[in-house]
Amino acid sequence: MKISRSPAAFVALFASGLAFVAPRALANEGHTGVDAKFQAMDTDGDGRISRAEHAAGAKKMFDEMDANHDGVVTADEMDARHERKSDGPAHAEMSAAEKIKVIDQDGDGKLTAAEHAAGSEAMFAKMDTDGDGYLTKTEMAAGHAMMKKDK
């Protein structure tokens, strides 16, 4: 597996991916930003995101982005998914094409499910700073802060 991009790029990809997993409908009053994204992924409600929950969220995100169900996500599909979930154009730190490039192992400008899963796992490992196999809100918030700092 060849994923050797900067930590900031991984954080940006991960954080933008969380936005796909946490649609606006889940962003209840009082639970915005990291909290809403965290709640959307914490499916068992134990206050932490396991590798399995993270992987399930990544798979759900990929499946929702893959509009034509061909097993590949293009930048256009990624942009369209974001617009459907956010009710408007993306104001992301990175373009969809840039996000894809971060984990596109074969350099074809598209993401396969395997590339997406591998990138998601790599980001989970980077964000899990205490190495316990779970993401806390603190670890997720730190990842978001690093992404903003490295813009």
Question: Using one digit for the tens of pLDDT, what is the confidence trace for 106-127?
Answer: 999 999 999 999 998 988 898 8
- Kindly give the pairing relationship between strand 111-112 and strand 72-73: antiparallel
Phi-psi region of 131 (alpha: psi -120 to 50; beta: other; left: phi over 0): left
The arrangement of secondary structure in 7-149, i.e. its CATH architecture, is: Orthogonal Bundle (1.10)
Q: What is the pLDDT of residues 43-60, one digit of tens each?
A: 999 999 999 999 998 899
